[in-house]
Amino acid sequence: MKKNSLLALGVALILISCDQVKEAKQAIGAIEAKKAVKSAIKRVINEKRITNGEKIFAEYCAYCHGKAAEGDPDWKTQGPTGILSPPPLNGSGHAWHHSMSVLFNYIKDGSLAKGGSMAPYATTLSDREIKDVIAWFQSKWPDEIYNAWAETNQRDKK
């Protein structure tokens, strides 16, 4: 009985070690991939456009999306009408999953046709102003989020 217990313990330790080695290799691969992406992606920072985007966001978007683009805390929960609350745009929500064209069109055309509650801004904001708003909220995204978005945006262009 004691022999079987020791044998089982030994096998368990070997399996755990193999899993740890596999996880370590995956982590190293992920780190290397992130380094490659980070070096390949240059974040464009245009302070003038970001400042303009911040002003426009404060005037037109902050009421729903929050002053710091933090969105509604319950943005993932459908309200009584079945519509989701305004999501965060600061990198903590799903906005970074969308390409530039999708982000742009959501602002320009609104989300009413897609079952959302955002009105269109096509007649209120110029294309440049919409891009400035996007530049502002993207300036709040951590590098990892921005890099993931940049990869998605590149795939969308192809």
Report the predicted TM-score, pTM, of the whole model to 2 decimal places. 0.72
How confident is residue 29, by pLDDT bands cut at 50, 70 and 90? low
Q: Render pLDDT for 114-157 as a digit per residue (tens, 0 to 9).
A: 888 999 999 999 999 999 999 999 999 999 999 999 988 887 67
Q: Which of 23-32, 39-48, 139-148 is predicted most confidently?
A: 139-148
**How far is 34 from 38, CA to CA, in rounded Å?**
6
How far is residue 32's CA from residue 48's CA, in Å, rounded to a whole number? 34
Strand partners for 78: 84
Q: How many CB atoms lie within 10 A of CB 69?
A: 26
Could you tell me the two tokens for 90? 């600061």
The amino acid at 140 = K
